[in-house]
């Protein structure tokens, strides 16, 4: 595909004037053309005005027409052919199979939200019939339903260049909710963003949607992000990225004349619990599986396992030995960007500098640039609480095993954790149910998803999925960014009291 280095505003392709972004191929450190210049202030304001005008019109578009629009986006993305995945490979260093899968997931999400729209339950329609004879006062007729909040700013994520970027989960759920979307392209994959952005524009045209329903903006650093978060037209933010980035958006959003909700998915170390029977019977197997999960995609998943709790009982040494051996045979992988690779190395250095921590094993390095050389550490339970460095996320293939003295210590250390996206529990049939229940009850207070005999990676797009969790795993622990419930983030309820039938919105008639 012939990339133009354009922003997209109101269906038009606009060359920016501010600075310039070029993607870097992380496998070679070579710059990739074209250059993407940041949007000018004038065009930025135009995009905001168009988004607002589109909101007034788009929110009234029927569920069926919005569903067709989402399906058209999926079709247009599929029409692009191989160019999309090829460009994404260059920009992210991710392997083809992974990106093909992610493309399928992206289109699947769009189609899932089309189903959500046709089903209509997302509107949470409620009705209280009039009780004209009620004493002491009659009851009026009441309806309520949920409507879109307004234009949503979506921040493309580096680690999901398709599924959490231009037409990813945030965009799909916001468009489904009746909210126009203004995407800030992630600077690590500007070309991928352009290709998907063009597909969305084709769908906008095909479905005759208001032109301002979608915009794709480029800009350098956090400047454009802060401008988006501060602009009065924007009524909510969807973000996946670092804790620092998410926190900056939260601060800006809270300081506005009209504060707005921020849905930032930020930081999680995803504790793993290996219970005694599982450790005894399957310690070796779990050790190998842990490393496979930790190494998958260079650990560049929000739900990558970063912390393992196990009591020093029978099987512990098998587990450790197996994990060490498995990791020692793994080869390093290229990370998404030079910045992420640098941050990973700083993160593991920070852990290694701790006096209390023992390096158990390291993956095999190569002389390619931007490598994630996976590392596994060990620390004693007594030392874990006091060591702040061991509580922070290291984005990449790194995990710390905490050797606990008892289940009680495991619970005590768990209490010291910040909010997490996931917790994984490995158990066998003979593990004590009462102990497991106590752990689950504790984890309910700490995490968004509790899973058994597996790892958090692989986030199913489904009705019951919760990809969220208490702060700082997300900025708003009441929300999920994956699954059908993600649409709730961009909705609010309106009540209609004694509204004449002729005037009621169609969905309430």
Subset of 72-131 contacting its own copies (CB under 8 A): 101, 126-128
Nearer to its own copies, 115 or 342 (CB): 115
CB of 127 to its own copies, least distance (A): 6
Selected binder of its own copies within 72, 147, 228, 399 (CB under 8 A): 147
The yes or no reply on residue 491 touching its own copies (CB under 8 A) is: yes
DSSP letter for 390, please: G
Give the nearest distance from C-beta 470 to its own copies in angstroms: 8
Q: Which residues inside 35-64 make contact with its own copies, applying CB under 8 A?
A: 56, 59-60
Q: What is the largest CA-CA distance in the chain?
A: 82
Q: Considering only residues 237 through 256, tell me which ones interact with its own copies, judged by CB under 8 A.
A: 250-251, 254
475 lines the binding site for its own copies (CB under 8 A)? yes
Stretch that binds its own copies, among 109-117, 179-187, 300-308, 487-495 (CB under 8 A): 487-495
Q: Are 304 and 338 in contact (CB under 8 A)?
A: no
Quick one: which of 240, 238, 244 has its CA closest to 222?
244
Least distance to its own copies, CB of residue 6, Å = 31
Q: Which of 107, 302, 404, 427 is catalytic?
A: 302
Q: Which residues contact 228 (CB under 8 A, 6 or more apart)?
A: 153, 182, 184, 217, 234, 237
Which run of H or E residues covers position 347? helix 338-353
Is residue 302 part of the annotated active site? The answer reads: yes
Chain position carrying tokens 């005005």: 49
* Cβ atoms of 279 and 319 closer than 8 Å: yes
Strands 447-452 and 420-426: parallel
Tokens of 141: 């007729």
When asked if residue 4 is in the footprint of its own copies (CB under 8 A), the reply is no
Scan residues 365-394 and list those touching its own copies (CB under 8 A).
none
137 is an interface residue for its own copies by CB under 8 A: yes
* 198 vs 446, beta carbon nearer its own copies: 446
3-state secondary structure of 375: strand
Tell whether residue 349 is a contact of its own copies (CB under 8 A). Answer: no
Residue number, 364 or 497, with CB nearest to its own copies: 497
CA dist., res. 426 & res. 289, Å (int)? 11
Phi, psi of 100 (to 5 degrees): -60, -45
- 427 is a site residue for its own copies (CB under 8 A): yes
Give me the least distance between CB of 260 and its own copies, in Å please. 8
**Four-CA torsion 468, 471, 473, 475, nearest 10 degrees:** 70
Stretch that binds its own copies, among 7-15, 30-38, 110-118, 462-470 (CB under 8 A): 462-470
Q: Could you list the active site residues?
A: 265, 302
């Amino acid at each position: 595909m012939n990339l133009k280095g354009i922003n997209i505003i109101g269906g038009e392709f606009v060359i920016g004037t501010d600075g310039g972004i070029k993607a870097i191929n992380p496998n070679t450190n070579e710059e990739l053309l074209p250059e993407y210049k940041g949007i000018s202030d004038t065009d930025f304001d135009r995009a905001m005005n168009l988004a607002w005008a589109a909101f007034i019109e788009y929110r009234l578009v029927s569920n069926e027409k919005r569903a067709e629009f989402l399906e058209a986006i999926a079709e247009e993305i599929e029409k692009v052919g191989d160019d999309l995945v090829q460009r994404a490979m260059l920009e992210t260093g991710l392997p083809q199979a992974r990106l093909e899968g992610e493309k399928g997931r992206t289109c699947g999400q769009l189609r899932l939200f089309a189903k959500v729209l046709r089903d209509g339950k997302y509107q949470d329609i409620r009705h209280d019939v009039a009780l004209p004879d009620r004493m002491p006062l009659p009851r009026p007729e009441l309806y309520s339903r949920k409507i879109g909040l307004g234009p949503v700013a979506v921040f493309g994520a580096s680690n999901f260049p398709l599924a959490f970027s231009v037409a990813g989960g945030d965009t799909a759920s916001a468009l489904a909710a009746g909210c126009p979307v203004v995407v800030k392209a992630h600077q690590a994959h500007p070309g991928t963003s352009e290709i998907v952005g063009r597909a969305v524009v084709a769908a906008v045209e095909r479905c005759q949607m208001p032109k301002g329903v979608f915009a794709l903006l480029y800009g350098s650093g956090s400047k454009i992000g802060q401008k988006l978060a501060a602009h009065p037209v924007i009524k909510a933010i969807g973000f996946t990225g670092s804790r620092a980035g998410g926190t900056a958006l939260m601060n800006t959003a809270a300081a506005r004349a009209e504060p707005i909700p921020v849905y930032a998915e930020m930081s999680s170390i995803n504790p793993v619990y290996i219970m005694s029977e599982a450790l005894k019977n399957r310690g070796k197997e779990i050790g190998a599986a842990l490393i496979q999960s930790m190494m998958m995609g260079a650990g560049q998943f929000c739900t990558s396992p970063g912390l393992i709790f196990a009591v020093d009982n029978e099987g512990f040494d098998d587990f450790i030995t197996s994990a060490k051996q498995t990791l020692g045979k793994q080869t390093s992988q290229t990370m998404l960007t030079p910045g992420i690779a640098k941050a990973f190395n700083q993160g593991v250095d920070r852990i290694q500098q701790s006096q209390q921590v023992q390096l158990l094993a390291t993956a095999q390095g190569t002389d390619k640039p931007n490598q994630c050389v996976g590392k596994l550490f060990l620390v004693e339970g007594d030392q874990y609480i006091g060591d702040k460095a061991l509580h922070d996320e290291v984005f990449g293939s790194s995990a710390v095993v905490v050797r606990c003295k008892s289940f009680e210590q495991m619970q005590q250390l768990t209490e010291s954790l910040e909010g997490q996206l996931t917790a994984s529990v490995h158990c066998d049939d003979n593990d004590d149910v009462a102990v497991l229940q106590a752990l689950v009850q504790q984890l309910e207070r700490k995490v968004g998803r509790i899973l058994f005999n597996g790892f958090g990676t692989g986030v199913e797009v489904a009705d019951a999925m919760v990809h969220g969790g208490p702060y700082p795993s997300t900025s708003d622990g009441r929300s999920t960014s994956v699954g059908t419930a993600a649409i709730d983030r961009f909705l609010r309820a309106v009540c209609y009291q004694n509204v004449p039938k002729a005037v009621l919105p169609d969905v309430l008639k």
